[in-house]
Structure 1
Amino acid sequence: MRPLNLIKTILIEGNIGVGKSTIMSHIASNYSSNLVQVHREPIENWMDIKGFDLLKALYTESNRWTFTFEMTALLSRIKTHTNAIHNHHIHIYERSILSCFHVFIDYDRKQNYLNDAEYRILQDHFQYGLEKTMDLSSTVIFYFDLSPKKCLERIIKRSRQSELSINLKRLEQLKYHYDKFIQNFHLCPVKIIDVSQSIEQTYQQVDSVLNEMITKNQENRI
């Protein structure tokens, strides 16, 4: 087994609609699975829990379903990190338990979608997941930055039924919480990527950093 300091983790972070899934698809299609393991958000699972669309319920009945969704999302991410097989150079995750708690759950609390007891339960699970599944010493965050208006345009364009009730106000507030999290988080490096540019330019930025990480990992193994 390789030393832990050679296991590199990239967390792809950003608001709803910034283009994380597009980048994940690009990486999965252009890099060998022997070098990179891609971990996508299990959105399809959240949209079909024995026929129930929990993601849609989150947006349409936030007061009723926020705690259920956030617990489901948090446990999904902890499970993904726990089950990752560390025989690859780099693991890339679409969002993480960090943003799950510091962005989305923080937003939910400010909106009074969570009571104190629910928040404490989520906080305990977050702390457990952080301690058991994350090595921040070998992690870097890619923060995809985009205006809420552009995010909304992309959400409308992709027409995911579960997201049709997302409005600009929610996206603006989530961006506020994301920006606050990124500005105040100092436990690992953060690479801010402006995704208002062309998709080709975004690919180039991501590829440049990813190729450098792969090269350094290969050199360290020699």
Structure 2
Amino acid sequence: MMSNIKSVSNVARTVKSRPFRVAIEGNIGSGKSTCIKFFEKYPNMEKHAEPINEWRDVSGHNLLGLVYSDLNKWTFPFQHYVHLTRLKIQTSPPCHSKITVKMFERSVQNSRYCFVENARKQGYLHDAEYEVLNKWYEHITKQIDIRLDLIVYLKTTPEVVFERMMKRGRAEESEVPLEYLQQVHDAYENWLNSPDVGCEVLTIDADRSIDVVKEDLERYSYKILGGNHTN
């Protein structure tokens, strides 16, 4: 088992005026949606899966399909829209007053430090496009509290998630090569081991079976639920 916790001491872990924020992070096919479903039994938690349906229909345009079909052409508009949808989820008021924890699949920080950085490195974004997205993010961080309190990182190897991705058969993912999954994996490792992570990271070995991963989620549920900050 390779579950471990990395702490960042100088960052406040909770803000009383908002719910405890937990981002579920990981590569395509790492089990993020399954992880979120695992916590459905907790009534004080608001859960948000990745807004894939919104990306598939932007006034009739399937941005998710377009970006996978041509990363060079569509990465910039796709990342713009992903930033917007993640921001709405991350900062929206809780659905009712008893919500003390908000859990969501990936984060605004992930978009900026993982996918945008990788896109620039691989040449999918021109320098000017990269700077526009970076300036947008800098402005948001100054104007809005988007801080995370905990990241649950479902760590996988690219070969394992590639096999899972092929089995689940999501149409847009049929053209995703193993090379891209390796790039995403490397981008995650670079981000989550840098000062930019800004919060505590709980790493779970998600190459293992889902039942074993669920045992870890249960074991760390107190921390994931915000500890003493939950009802």
Partner of 2:27: 15
Residues in 1 aligned to 2:45 and 2:173: alpha-carbon distance in whole angstroms: 30
Please tell me the root mean square deviation across aligned C-alpha atoms, in Å. 2.0
The aligned amino acid for 1:147 is T
SS at match of 1:80: helix
Per-residue deviation, 1:114: 1.0
Of the three residues 193, 200, 207, the one matched with 1:183 is 193
- The equivalent position to 1:96 in structure 2, one of 100, 107, 110, is 107
Instruction: Answer whether contact 1:36 1:89 (CA < 8 A) is retained.
Output: yes
Is 1:66 the counterpart of 2:55? The answer is: no
**Distance (whole Å) between structure 2 residues aligned to residue 60 and residue 198 of structure 1:** 31
For 2:37, the aligned partner's letter is: S
**CA separation of 1:122 and 1:6: change in aligned 2, threshold 3 A:** closer
Q: Distance in 2 between matches of 1:61 and 1:157?
A: 23
Taking the aligned partners of 2:50 and 2:166, their CA distance within structure 1 comes to 20
Equivalent of residue 176 in structure 2, options 146, 166, 184: 166
SS in 1 for 2:119: helix
Contact 2:65 2:172 in 1 (8 A): yes
The whole-number CA distance in structure 1 between the counterparts of 2:172 and 2:145 is: 29
Q: 1:56 aligns with which of 65, 71, 79?
A: 65
**Is the CA contact 1:81–1:133 (under 8 Å) kept in the aligned structure 2?**
no
CA 1:200–1:129: 2 relative to 1, 3 Å: farther
CA contact (8 A) 1:6 1:217 kept: no
More helix by share: 1
Gaps of 5+ in 1: none
Cα deviation, 1:31-51, whole Å, max 9, x if unaligned, reads 22xx10112211011112233
SS at match of 1:133: coil
Q: Determine which of 212, 217, 221 is the counterpart of 2:229.
A: 217
Q: Partner of 1:113 in structure 2?
A: 124
Structure 2 runs not aligned, ≥5 long:
1-13
* Match in the other structure for 2:8: none
One-letter identity of the residue aligned with 1:150: V
Residues 70-149 of structure 1: matches in 2 within 5 Å?
A: 70-85=79-94, 87=97, 88-131=99-142, 132-136=144-148, 139-149=149-159
Task: Give the structure 1 partner of residue 206 of structure 2.
Answer: 195
Structure 1 SS opposite 2:23: strand
Deviation at 1:215, TM superposition (A): 4.8
Following the alignment from structure 1 to structure 2, what is the Cα–Cα distance between the partners of residues 198 and 44?
Answer: 27
Secondary structure, counterpart of 1:164 in structure 2? helix
Judging changes above 3 Å, is the alpha-carbon distance between structure 1 residues 161 and 215 closer, same or farther for their aligned structure 2 residues?
same
